[in-house]
Amino acid sequence: MKPMRTLSFRHRDSSPVRVGRSGPAAIIVATASIALAGFAWYGHARTERRDATVTACLAAATPAAQAIFSYDYRTFDAGVANAQSFVTGGFVNDYATTTTNLKATAVQAQAVVQSQVSAVGVVDASPAGIDALVYLNQYRRNVNITGEKVDQNRVVLTMVRVGGGCKVSAASAI
């Protein structure tokens, strides 16, 4: 068996400093510890950002859904303008197209649709946004029906962070 080799260095005071084979192992352990701590910190920070996004988007989901899925033939344009403040991205054009096509029918039928959210839940979440499942009841009246009808709808809203809040970037009925 070979004897263990050591390296000798001298400090200013001329006392030798010996570094054996455990020196490189200590460096490897220290480097791995630093990497692990960095990975843990990154994961924690990402989780905190996701949780903040979930909180912000859930708070925005109810007023957004109620604005987007409600209309009154008497104030149709004002209602659409209000709802547009809750949408972003490609959904801006989709919403504009849908409401443009709906306006003539709503005015002709003297339609009033009041949407109320009964529950909201998270389907998927990331630091950038969420998919929210919205239980939406739409109370509708028009000249073609007697009284008021209630439609119970389920909608998935894709919500993304925009500035300090969240806006709807897509909606799909399920």
pLDDT of residue 24: 72
Q: For residues 68 and 91, what is the distance between their CA atoms, to the nearest angstrom?
A: 11
Is residue 105 in some structural domain?
Answer: yes
Is residue 21 in some structural domain?
Answer: no
Is residue 2 in some structural domain?
Answer: no
Q: For residues 68 and 29, what is the distance between their CA atoms, to the nearest angstrom?
A: 56
Q: For residues 112 and 144, what is the distance between their CA atoms, to the nearest angstrom?
A: 12
DSSP classification of residue 130 = E
What CATH number should be reported for the domain holding residue 125?
3.10.450.230
Q: How many domains does the chain have?
A: 1
Is residue 13 in some structural domain?
Answer: no
Contact between residue 83 and residue 60 where contact means Cβ atoms under 8 Å apart: no
Angle at 78 between CA 68 and CA 75, to 5 degrees: 100
Is residue 5 in some structural domain?
Answer: no
Q: For residues 32 and 73, what is the distance between their CA atoms, to the nearest angstrom?
A: 65
Is residue 59 in some structural domain?
Answer: yes
Per DSSP, which regions of the chain are E strands?
7-10, 16-19, 71-72, 112-125, 129-141, 149-162, 165-173
Domain that holds residue 39: 32-173
* Per-residue pLDDT tens digits of the chain, which is 174 residues long: 555 555 555 556 656 655 556 777 777 777 877 767 777 667 656 778 889 999 999 999 999 999 999 999 999 999 999 999 999 999 999 999 999 999 999 999 999 999 999 999 999 999 999 999 999 999 999 999 999 999 999 999 999 999 889 999 999 999
Contact between residue 105 and residue 111 where contact means Cβ atoms under 8 Å apart: yes
Instruction: State pTM to two decimals.
Output: 0.73
Q: Which residues contact 67 (CB under 8 A, 6 or more apart)?
A: 79, 82, 83, 85, 86
